[in-house]
């Protein structure tokens, strides 16, 4: 492939007007359209994400020794069934009481002893496997008068993925809550299991399939 | 997409999604590693509920004082052209994102990463590890001192070289705002042959390129490049601000 891109470099500026960053409209007090800046496009984390995106305490959404805490482990697999050893998984979730350690929660930021709600795990060691130490999230309102099943929002980053992919982890031992969950219910029945972590010795296990027969259900957020 | 969701009274923001024509696709054929890794099925739309509109508070507790100067490591100075990289983190409604963690990593001036997986035979620099962390100030501003990264070869296609770039990771306030991206330098001759650069839609590529900033260049010390990063905004009412960031 000597000429991978037929066209010369093409860089097109944003249309003039309200989409321009640093626009002269600032401070006028009037806008003739919605002020909307173009978002910065995503890029791959590349193979060396460990330099900038790994923390010694990354895996610990719940501190060591927190009562009720467990490990969620799983492999990340590509379309050939091979392990992806240069990926990173990030998790974000409610605490066991259904609160979020975030001021963006309109009910107020929650705090739960020993719990951060957020974890990140590189998949380098053991190769292709992630592990986060956490607590079972509580049920949180779904916005339509119901409750969501316990779930964890997950971002997956890797070399060979240009934008993060998003999935949710649910728990296979929460059958009753899962049956009421609006997100799960909207999925074809045969695909729901790609999001269900199953009980294991020290917690739960769930493999993430980037492609293939068992491709995980990924979400557009 | 605008509107609000009611959760027993309080209204949740709904984060705007950039048009697909202006977003980087998850896979891109000329970037060969995406072939077996980028999911092939159409992702399922997920409504923004509490888990999606909240996010971790990651600030000063994750940053050490020397993390904003990548040129000083292991008791010595990194080799290369010193540059100050600075800018603002905003959301698409034009609001500054204060107190936000910005993580950066990059190759050294010779184009070599300090990583066991990097076999490019360019020298490592004992005084450069390529890792920086800063937190945005009350106006969403960030800055760090580093050296300009070198271009480096990779195996994607014959004679493939990555344009000089710095990797950036940003959290914002909400799960929906999470962004990992790369900052480029103006007029890089390697843009045309780089599939990671060209995977960005043509109309969005300029947003990934920094601007040479003579104003912030430090006499007898360092060049400066300015790069504003725009995260997804929501339907919350934007404030009009004057140049000092005060609400007008
Ligand atoms: Fe890189």
Relative to beta strand A219-220, strand B44-45 is parallel
| pLDDT value of residue B65 | 87
Domain harbouring A122, CATH code: 2.60.130.10
Residue A131, domain extent: 49-209
In the set B114, B127, B141, B167, the catalytic residue is B167
CB A94 within 8 A of CB A61: no
Domain membership of residue A139 (yes or no) is yes
Residues with Cβ within 8 Å of B4's Cβ and at least 6 positions away in sequence, in order, are B11, B12, B13, B14, B235
Residue A8's closest CA among B31, B127, B205? Answer: B205
| pLDDT value of residue B2 | 39
DSSP secondary structure code for residue B156 in this structure = S
Residue B184: list chain A partners with CB under 8 A: none
| pLDDT value of residue A26 | 52
Per-residue pLDDT band for A28 (boundaries 50, 70, 90) equals low
Say whether pLDDT at A1 is over 90: no
Residue A211's closest CA among A48, A44, A54, A78? Answer: A78
Give the CA count within 13 Å in the CB-facing half-sphere of B120. Answer: 22
Say whether pLDDT at A20 is over 60: no
ipTM of the predicted assembly exceeds 0.95: no
Active site residue B165: yes
Domain membership of residue A64 (yes or no) is yes
Residue B206 backbone phi and psi in degrees, to 5: -60, -20
Regarding whether A117 and A10 lie in a shared domain, the answer is no
Helix (H, G, I), strand (E, B), or coil: what is residue A200?
Answer: strand
Give percent of chain A above pLDDT 90: 83
Calculate Rg over the CA atoms of chain A: 21
Regarding whether A72 and A27 lie in a shared domain, the answer is no
Regarding whether A122 and A61 lie in a shared domain, the answer is yes
pLDDT tens figures, A129-148:
999 999 999 999 999 999 99
pLDDT tens figures, B39-66:
999 999 999 999 999 999 998 889 998 9
Q: Which two tokens stand for residue A7?
A: 């066209």
Query: Distance, CA B166 to ligand 1 centroid (Å)?
Result: 7
| pLDDT value of residue B51 | 98
Between residues B237 and B175, the one the model is more confident about: B175
pLDDT, average across residues B162-172: 97
Residue A32's closest CA among A43, A47, A44, A16? Answer: A16
Query: Distance, CA B61 to ligand 1 centroid (Å)?
Result: 26
pLDDT, average across residues B85-113: 97
Query: Distance, CA B107 to ligand 1 centroid (Å)?
Result: 7
Helices (H) and strands (E) counted in chain B, each on its own, are: 2, 16
Q: Which CATH number fits domain B4-37+45-231: 3.50.50.60, 2.60.130.10, 3.40.50.300, 3.40.50.150?
A: 2.60.130.10
Regarding whether A160 and A93 lie in a shared domain, the answer is yes
pLDDT, average across residues B98-113: 97
Per-residue pLDDT band for B246 (boundaries 50, 70, 90) equals very low
User: Contact B230/A40, CB-based, under 8 Å?
Assistant: yes
Per-residue pLDDT band for B220 (boundaries 50, 70, 90) equals very high
DSSP secondary structure code for residue B234 in this structure = B
Q: Does A146 touch chain B (CB under 8 A)?
A: no
pLDDT, average across residues A105-130: 96
Regarding whether A108 and A25 lie in a shared domain, the answer is no
In the set B142, B152, B173, B184, the catalytic residue is B152
Total number of residues shown for chain A: 221
With CA atoms as reference, the chain B residue closest to A100 would be B54
| pLDDT value of residue A29 | 59
Say whether pLDDT at B3 is over 90: no
Domain membership of residue A21 (yes or no) is yes
| pLDDT value of residue B67 | 96
Active site residue B211: no
Regarding whether A70 and A29 lie in a shared domain, the answer is no
User: Contact A44/B23, CB-based, under 8 Å?
Assistant: no
| pLDDT value of residue A11 | 64
| pLDDT value of residue A19 | 42
B23, B24, B34, B39, best to mutate vs chain A, most A CBs in 10 Å: B39
């Amino acid at each position: 492939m000597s000429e991978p891109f037929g066209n010369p470099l093409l860089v097109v500026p944003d249309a003039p007007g309200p989409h321009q960053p640093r626009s002269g409209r600032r401070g006028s007090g009037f806008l003739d359209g919605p002020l909307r800046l173009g978002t910065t496009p995503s890029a791959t984390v590349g193979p060396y994400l460990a330099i900038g995106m790994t923390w010694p305490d990354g895996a610990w959404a719940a501190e060591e020794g927190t009562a009720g805490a467990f490990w969620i482990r799983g492999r990340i697999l590509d379309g050939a069934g091979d392990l992806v050893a240069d990926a990173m998984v990030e998790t974000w979730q409610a605490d066991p009481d259904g609160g979020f350690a975030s001021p963006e929660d309109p009910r107020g930021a929650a705090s739960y002893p020993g719990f951060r709600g957020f974890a990140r795990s590189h998949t380098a060691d053991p190769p292709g496997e992630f592990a986060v130490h956490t607590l079972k999230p509580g049920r949180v309102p779904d916005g339509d008068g119901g409750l969501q099943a316990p779930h964890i929002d997950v971002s997956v980053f890797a070399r060979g993925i240009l934008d993060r992919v998003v999935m949710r982890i649910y728990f296979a031992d929460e059958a009753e809550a899962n049956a009421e969950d609006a997100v799960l219910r909207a999925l074809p029945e045969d695909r729901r299991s790609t999001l269900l972590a199953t009980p294991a010795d020290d917690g739960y296990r769930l493999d993430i399939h980037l492609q293939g027969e068992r491709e995980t259900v990924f979400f557009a957020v | 997409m605008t509107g609000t969701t009611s959760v027993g009274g309080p209204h949740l923001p709904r984060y705007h999604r950039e048009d697909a024509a202006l977003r980087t696709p998850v896979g891109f054929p000329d970037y060969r590693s995406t072939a077996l890794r980028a999911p092939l099925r159409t992702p399922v739309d997920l409504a923004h509920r509490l888990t999606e509109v909240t996010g971790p508070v990651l600030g000063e507790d994750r940053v050490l004082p020397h993390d904003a100067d990548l040129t000083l490591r292991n008791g010595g100075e990194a080799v290369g052209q010193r540059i100050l990289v600075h800018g603002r983190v905003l959301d698409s409604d034009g609001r500054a994102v204060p107190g936000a963690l910005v993580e950066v990593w990059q190759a050294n001036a010779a184009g070599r990463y300090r990583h066991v997986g990097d076999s490019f035979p360019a020298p490592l620099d004992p005084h450069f590890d390529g890792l920086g962390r800063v937190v945005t100030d009350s106006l969403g501003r960030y800055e760090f001192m580093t050296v300009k990264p070198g271009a480096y070869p990779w195996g994607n296609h014959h004679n493939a070289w990555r344009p000089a770039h710095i990797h950036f990771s940003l959290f914002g306030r909400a799960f929906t705002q999470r962004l990992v991206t790369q900052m480029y330098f103006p007029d890089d001759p390697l843009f045309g042959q780089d599939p990671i650069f060209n995977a960005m839609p043509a109309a969005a590529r300029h947003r990934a390129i920094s601007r040479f900033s003579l104003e912030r260049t430090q006499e007898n010390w360092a060049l400066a490049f300015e790069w504003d990063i725009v995260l997804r905004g929501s339907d919350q009412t934007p404030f009009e601000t004057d140049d000092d960031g005060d609400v007008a």
